[in-house]
Structure 1
């Protein structure tokens, strides 16, 4: 009978051989987060301590999903997920990259759209390849589902940002400065005709106690709308790009080397060729 320690040693050796790059990135990022965590504890910034702990937990999710769902995540996908988590939580929030680099949030939302489309695509692609599946879906159907899945995740995230801004004033939906607005709220007749204000250079805020403050921002302060629309648009681009790539990947019977780097595979699934020979696509 094999000793448990020996079995575990063999398992770690296998993981190292098959996922060497993932392991190196994982160790590097995890060490970096621990160092940041210690610095935040020393500075008594407990909100950032929570973000560091959350990041460490999120780092374990890819390997946990592999074990629970009995799937194999491609190394490229796993590395991108780890880098995405680090870029969003550590660099973005704690390092204030969202403020320092104006397009940091845009890049991450584009990547999120791409990754979520890959995840949504793989959920059905695993079923499509499974040797016990009773029907098989067409490439177009898989691409549409992947796109819709990614957009749904993007919308739900914007709901979350809106809720955090509304209840806790976190300004997750970053404000924008606009110089022209049209609103029916200024229609003197109370009708549905928008009044357009152009070339706005400043806004004066009057509080309940009569205090007046000129914002001095050079225009009208938009509360999160432009940021939300931009996030959803770049999510749309990322989702659309992967959906198109995934469509041709299935059409070529899984021969695309690029897409294989982003699509998890069930450990007990049949090959795409076997699945295609068994039954024609249902949709």
Structure 2
């Protein structure tokens, strides 16, 4: 199969443009939060700003070169979850916001789990070849596992700092119904992505995946080749 044309420069420019726009929006919001003395939200916004800036500012110090595509997806998700969801109260305004984000998270985490194992198959330091069905199963449980850890994080933040990350839902004020629906949607998203990955490998339609993996290996040879 012929290689797909790559445009890393375009992706990097899009990543930088989105990052700058988000930082400006959050900086403006930060001024209003400080004015209103909403210190917990000030802390949250500063944390989000730092989390989205670190991979760009300190990229030369990171042990692994993170592709711009993944960085862009990560900052968009963090922005939608913590800034729009928690600070701007989209969880209260839009009843489907939380479910949409968890469904997206399931898809992205399923994709990440799939790529982790797929890349291991390309690593000469790992003498292992895994069947497509195992890779798909790993991707599913990886996505669901990270989703479960996130629900534990929400519970801890609510208990320790008085947040309301676990929302009342369908008449249940405890947040348990919200948590269970979040996990169900996580599982659906992870299952969909795992199935797509399995079909892709079974039918050998791997051109785009191979291109992505090849670029990741070229940027991080120390992870894949002896003596690097």
Distance of 1:49 and 1:98 partners within structure 2? 18
Where in structure 1 are there 5+ consecutive unaligned residues?
Answer: 1-14, 179-220, 271-283
Specify whether residues 263 and 41 from structure 1 end up closer, same or farther in structure 2 by C-alpha distance, changes over 3 A only: farther
Map 1:107-126; keep pairs closer than 5 Å: 107-126=100-119
Confirm whether residue 127 of structure 1 aligns to residue 86 of structure 2. Answer: no
Specify whether residues 125 and 66 from structure 1 end up closer, same or farther in structure 2 by C-alpha distance, changes over 3 A only: farther
Specify whether residues 61 and 111 from structure 1 end up closer, same or farther in structure 2 by C-alpha distance, changes over 3 A only: farther
Equivalent pairs counted in the alignment come to 214
Q: Offset of 1:71 from its aligned partner? A: 4.0
Specify whether residues 87 and 234 from structure 1 end up closer, same or farther in structure 2 by C-alpha distance, changes over 3 A only: same
> Which one of 158, 163, 181 corresponds to residue 156 of structure 2?
163
The answer to whether the 8 A contact 2:26-2:49 is kept is yes
Q: SS where residue 134 of structure 1 aligns?
A: coil
CA RMSD in angstroms, aligned pairs only: 3.1
Where in structure 2 are there 5+ consecutive unaligned residues?
Answer: 1-7, 222-228
Specify whether residues 130 and 141 from structure 1 end up closer, same or farther in structure 2 by C-alpha distance, changes over 3 A only: same
State the structure with more CA Rg. 1
Q: Which residue of 2 aligns with 1:249?
A: 200
Q: Offset of 1:172 from its aligned partner? A: 2.1
Distance of 1:95 and 1:24 partners within structure 2? 22
The answer to whether the 8 A contact 1:71-1:267 is kept is no
Q: SS where residue 242 of structure 1 aligns?
A: helix
- What TM-score do the two structures reach when normalised by structure 1? 0.65
Specify whether residues 225 and 18 from structure 1 end up closer, same or farther in structure 2 by C-alpha distance, changes over 3 A only: closer
Structure number with higher helix proportion: 2
Confirm whether residue 227 of structure 1 aligns to residue 221 of structure 2. Answer: no
Q: Which residue of 2 aligns with 1:68?
A: 62
Specify whether residues 21 and 237 from structure 1 end up closer, same or farther in structure 2 by C-alpha distance, changes over 3 A only: same
Distance of 2:33 and 2:138 partners within structure 1? 41
Confirm whether residue 236 of structure 1 aligns to residue 187 of structure 2. Answer: yes
Q: Which residue of 2 aligns with 1:47?
A: 40
